[in-house]
Amino acid sequence: MKVVRNVALIAGASLLTLAAVVAVRTMTWKPEAGAEKPAALAAATPVDAARAAAHLGEAIRFQTVSNQDVAANRWEEWDRLHAWMQATYPAAHAAMTREVVDGRTLIYAWPGSDPKLPPIVLMAHQDVVPVTPGTEKDWVRPPFSGEIAEGYVWGRGAFDDKGSLVALMEAADALAGRGFKPRRTVYFVFGHNEETLGTGAATAAKWFADRKIRPEFVLDEGGVAVTSNALTGEPVAVMSTAEKGYATLRVTASAEGGHSSAPPKETAVVTLARAVDRIAGDPFPLKFEGPGAQTVRGMADGGGWPMRMLVANDWLFGPLLARKMGETPELAAMLHTTVAPTMLEGAPKENVLPQRASALINYRLHPRDKAEDVMVRARRAVRGLPVELSWEGTPVEASPVSSSSDATWSTLAALATEATGAPTVPGIVIGATDSRWFGPVAERVYRFAPFLVPFEELSRFHGTNERVSVENLDRAAEFYTRVIATTAG
């Protein structure tokens, strides 16, 4: 009996100690992002919001649609967009040189007075995704009308990514028009095929590498501010410090083939189905770490004590947090490499046993996993099955994770917060952006545009009724004037 009592006492004391540790950590906890002080922030240069909105409307009317079949692209629309940019932004074009690479990607350079300083690179892309056939009638305004109504500029690309492109050009035109001269060289890189191959941005990155230019930072699309985050209901701005990689695995099963009226027990399709099931049934573990966890920590900072307690003590509650996030696919994607079987191929006819059946499995790589790890894991999953594994195309590794504590981060985060009124937290892009090509060229690559929107608004981009508010466009243009004046002025 005495032993039992002692055990109970010890257990009780341990629990009290644990509770005390959890309580102290909760009370003293601060998210780690933004440890260093920001630079002195330059004032915004005013931009004419109505003029910017009219310009975005015009830019939307050029149908720079990136089709899945690139041969269907109407390249003259890109050429018209280029001519329009030159005519619309005379001050910016007088201040900057312009070079075209890979056919239609634009590199603008605004030479700084001190060539020893590393330059900055600001990015946006010219192309847009197609309007899904059959959804045209659901658009309240025609998708390429660029109409301005109800305080919004409407149309495909308003948000992704002509809003940023126009905001950058408005910023340059406003600054140059007022005689601003940068100390650091400022580059604009406008990719022409972000939504398909991204070869434009890849060529631009190589352009920098060939000239041994190492930018101080690169800022591209890939994060925005929402008025109410899913965790605490407070506004939050996510400036992504990383993006996931991309790889597609081909799984192939071979067999004798023959007539489906006399099938053997194991056919190519059955073997393939087993292999796909095994690979998809062996997900990468969810871990509460990295930029995805930092987003949650940053959001929790503005929340009540239960949320703070969990994130402040992730040494204890990390697995619980990871499991909770794992229930929502978009949040789970921030914490691990995702596995998605997408295409299956078998016989050309229903009564034929295929000699060869294959599946494609699309992976989005978390920064802690390499493509090689994916291959090793898949091989282990299908051990004993007669299938072959090979890469479909060349895998793209996840980006490096940029600093979320140095002075550059703190400066950009402070500017983002002043623009949106929301705390700025690090994050990870679960899709892909043009800036992924700049990983080898720049130590810091950030992905953010200062659009402040309700969460539901995000479904409009790549979706129906895409639009951007005139207020957000103005916010973005003035934000870019401050980014340039603060970091390159």
List contacts with Zn ion (CB under 5 A): 160-161, 221
Closest distance to Zn ion from the beta carbon of 64 (Å): 12
Nearer to Zn ion, 324 or 462 (CB): 462
Closest distance to Zn ion from the beta carbon of 113 (Å): 33
Amino acid at 326: G
Q: How far apart are CA 256 and CA 161, in angstroms?
A: 50
Nearer to Zn ion, 143 or 354 (CB): 143
In degrees, rounded to 5, the angle at the alpha carbon of residue 248 between the alpha carbons of residues 244 and 254 is: 160
Instruction: Compute the CA torsion angle 166, 167, 172, 175 (nearest 10 deg).
Output: 140
Nearer to Zn ion, 161 or 170 (CB): 161
Closest distance to Zn ion from the beta carbon of 480 (Å): 16
Are the C-beta atoms of 80 and 62 separated by less than 8 Å?
yes
Closest distance to Zn ion from the beta carbon of 124 (Å): 8
Are the C-beta atoms of 34 and 481 separated by less than 8 Å?
no
Nearer to Zn ion, 163 or 426 (CB): 163
Nearer to Zn ion, 161 or 314 (CB): 161
Nearer to Zn ion, 162 or 278 (CB): 162
* The two three-digit tokens of residue 363, written as one number: 């992976």
Closest distance to Zn ion from the beta carbon of 190 (Å): 12
Find, among 37, 18, 25, the residue nearest to 297 by Cα: 25
Are the C-beta atoms of 445 and 434 separated by less than 8 Å?
no
Closest distance to Zn ion from the beta carbon of 161 (Å): 4
Closest distance to Zn ion from the beta carbon of 93 (Å): 24
Are the C-beta atoms of 201 and 127 separated by less than 8 Å?
no
Residue 51, CA atoms < 13 Å, CB-side half-sphere: 11
Q: How far apart are CA 466 and CA 460, in angstroms?
A: 5
Q: How far apart are CA 432 and CA 194, in angstroms?
A: 9
Closest distance to Zn ion from the beta carbon of 290 (Å): 23
Nearer to Zn ion, 160 or 170 (CB): 160
Closest distance to Zn ion from the beta carbon of 205 (Å): 17
- Distances from the Cα of 351 to the Cαs of 64, 188, 265, 289, in angstroms? 44, 57, 16, 50
Three-state secondary-structure class, residue 196: coil
Closest distance to Zn ion from the beta carbon of 160 (Å): 4
Are the C-beta atoms of 275 and 303 separated by less than 8 Å?
no
Three-state secondary-structure class, residue 98: strand
- What phi, psi does 336 have (nearest 5°)? -155, 170
Nearer to Zn ion, 425 or 449 (CB): 449
Nearer to Zn ion, 159 or 208 (CB): 159
Q: How far apart are CA 239 and CA 426, in angstroms?
A: 5
Nearer to Zn ion, 110 or 461 (CB): 461
Nearer to Zn ion, 154 or 159 (CB): 159
Nearer to Zn ion, 93 or 125 (CB): 125
Closest distance to Zn ion from the beta carbon of 432 (Å): 9
Q: 312-329: b or e for each residue (b if 16 or more CB lie within 10 Å)?
A: bbbeebbeebbebbbeee
Q: How far apart are CA 35 and CA 406, in angstroms?
A: 7
How many residues belong to the chain?
489
| Rg from Cα positions in the chain | 26
- Distances from the Cα of 469 to the Cαs of 45, 234, 327, 475, in angstroms? 20, 20, 32, 10
Closest distance to Zn ion from the beta carbon of 129 (Å): 8
Per 3-state DSSP, the chain is made up of helix, strand and coil in percentages (nearest 5) of 40, 20, 40
Antiparallel, parallel or unpaired: β 445-447 and 352-353: unpaired
